[in-house]
Structure 1
Amino acid sequence: MTAARFLVVLDADSTLIRDEVIELLADEAGRRAEVQAATEAAMRGEVDFAASLCSRVQALAGVPTDAFERVRSRIRPTPGVRELTAAVHDRGGVVGVVSGGFHEILDHIAPGLGVDRWRANRLTVYADRLSGVVDGEIVDAAVKAASLREWARELQLPQHATIAIGDGANDLEMMAAAGLGLAFNAKPMVRRSANLVIGPQDLRAVIPLLP
């Protein structure tokens, strides 16, 4: 097996895909406006991400698990995502996604978008309904950065051979850990902290930056 030349790690919601999955799930509970406002505050870095996620997941309590299929059908891949992942693979790279969203959605959409490995939160279920609690460790900013470092070690890649792409405050540690941190469709504080800002909402803009 040929050794990887580089690693690209993306956030999922509003980066790999155009949607915020927790907001689509909140639609099923009739609480989208409430959850959307809390998500935006968390992405701007105004509140602690883990605490905010727990609060937003509580709003999903009682949503039936068959909602996952309806949500997956509504997911909109970000323009250019398949072209980007194909370009990464063509150049000998690996694509990872680390998300504050949920495995219940990402497990179904990531392979079709060319993602090689991914990590996200899991939702607890009781009697075929969401319990309103996150199962296990929350994927927050620290876990995102740790995931990038872990995958780079597994692939025997140095830091300078990694690229991180994100939009929210919880992506900043991951972007700082990478050799190149790209702000994509990003909040102002993320744009200020990134090595480069990708303007158009099309991931093909990243391709010229690949090694």
Structure 2
Amino acid sequence: MPHVLTLIAPPGALAPAHLNAARAALTALGADCDAAEWLAEGEAADLPFTALAAEQAIAAVRGALGDGALDLIAQPRAGRRKKLLLADMDSTIVTTETLDEIAAFAGLKEKIAEITARSMNGELDFRQALTERVGMLKGLDASALEETWKATELMPGARELVATMRHHGARTALVSGGFTFFTGRVAELVGFHEHHANTLLLDGGKLTGAVGQPILDRDAKLATLKRLAAAHGLALSEAATIGDGANDLAMIQAAGLGVAYRAKPSVAAAARHRIEHGDLRGLLFAQGYKASEFVAG
């Protein structure tokens, strides 16, 4: 079978009835299907199929299963396991937008978070929005960064995602429109080989209100994907990327397995693959890894 549909749900939410309904929906359109294979019982399963395009398969199964808490990823079976991972940080590898959390110490969280949300949905130019938000924090004591870090939490599945891909030989990189103050720490905590982000400028222990140049934006994320792929002798089809914001979309669309993760509406609509209900382990399931193969980070 040249294609596979992966069904992913929160633990315990995927039932045999879902798999039977998915198989029936595909066969009703003339597809041939092998038996479904559990990747994690009650959570993820593969359904190999042929004779349908990926978009047709997803539409048919979504129509049969409705709008329940299920993620569907359809793709060719060949080359599923990727050799390069690029991941966004804020609202992807960590649960928060770190700049919004810094702003709380200046009493500006609500105002800055509104700008962040619009920027991540593609409504504002990323560079301008970043410059504006950081400028509003001029004079804030750098201790706000440390306090923000203390409260920062990893997204469920982050460690397993990176550790498992590294164990199987993949190169891993954290690529963020946020700041190196956080990406360096997150990369070390999670196990990324490398990290790339923007730099908050400080003077006398306070934020200057400026960002180091050049700014790492959407184009820079895509350029980093291409550069790392070339450096390791890989095609873009051998890469996996994951993120939630408009500045992630170019690298999501360029990679062989680009996933919009609990993404902003405009990003989810433009991405081929989406994970909205599962955690970051969903990117492992999408590559055909069984839960028994996961490596704890």
Note whether the superposition's TM-score is higher than 0.5. yes
Hey, what's the Cα distance between the residues in 2 that align with 1:8 and 1:109? 15
Question: What residue in structure 2 maps to residue 153 of structure 1?
Answer: 230
Contact kept, 8 Å, 1:95 with 1:116, in 2: the verdict is yes
| Superposed displacement of residue 209, structure 1 | 2.1
Question: What residue in structure 2 maps to residue 206 of structure 1?
Answer: 283
Find out whether 1:97 has 2:195 as its counterpart. no
Find out whether 1:6 has 2:6 as its counterpart. no
Question: What residue in structure 1 maps to residue 52 of structure 2?
Answer: none
Where 2:199 maps in the other structure, the secondary structure is strand
Question: What residue in structure 1 maps to residue 201 of structure 2?
Answer: 124
| Superposed displacement of residue 210, structure 1 | 2.7
Matched AA of 2:284:
I
Note closer, same or farther for the CA distance 1:201–1:31 as it changes in structure 2 (3 Å cut).
farther
Flag the structure with more relative contact order, 1 or 2, with Cα contacts below 8 A and sequence separation at least 6.
1
Contact kept, 8 Å, 1:17 with 1:78, in 2: the verdict is yes
Find out whether 1:163 has 2:240 as its counterpart. yes
**Percent of aligned pairs with the same residue?**
35
Structure with bigger helix share is 1
Hey, what's the Cα distance between the residues in 2 that align with 1:12 and 1:162? 17
Of stretches 125-134 and 62-71 in structure 1, the one that deviates more from structure 2 is 62-71
| Superposed displacement of residue 109, structure 1 | 2.0
Matched AA of 2:158:
V
Query: What TM-score do you get using the length of structure 2 for normalisation?
Result: 0.68
Find out whether 1:181 has 2:252 as its counterpart. no
Hey, what's the Cα distance between the residues in 2 that align with 1:60 and 1:98? 23
Matched AA of 2:268:
R
Of stretches 104-113 and 41-50 in structure 1, the one that deviates more from structure 2 is 104-113
Find out whether 1:81 has 2:148 as its counterpart. no
Question: What residue in structure 1 maps to residue 73 of structure 2?
Answer: none
| Superposed displacement of residue 201, structure 1 | 4.8
Aligned length: 207
Gaps (5+ residues) in structure 1? Answer: none
Question: What residue in structure 2 maps to residue 52 of structure 1?
Answer: 129
Gaps (5+ residues) in structure 2? Answer: 1-81, 289-297
Question: What residue in structure 1 maps to residue 141 of structure 2?
Answer: 64
Question: What residue in structure 1 maps to residue 115 of structure 2?
Answer: 38
Considering only aligned residues, what root-mean-square deviation do their CA atoms show, in Å? Answer: 1.2
Pick one of 84, 95, 119 that aligns with 1:18: 95
Structure 1: 4+ residue segments shifted above 3 A:
none
Query: What TM-score do you get using the length of structure 1 for normalisation?
Result: 0.94
- Residues 10-61 of structure 1 deviation map (CA, whole Å, 9 limit, x = unaligned): 1110001111010111011111011000000001111101000000001111
Hey, what's the Cα distance between the residues in 1 that align with 2:246 and 2:172? 21
Matched AA of 1:41:
R
Contact kept, 8 Å, 2:174 with 2:183, in 1: the verdict is no
Hey, what's the Cα distance between the residues in 1 that align with 2:193 and 2:262? 23
Matched AA of 2:285:
P
Pick one of 184, 189, 200 that aligns with 1:112: 189
Hey, what's the Cα distance between the residues in 2 that align with 1:62 and 1:10? 31
Question: What residue in structure 1 maps to residue 78 of structure 2?
Answer: none
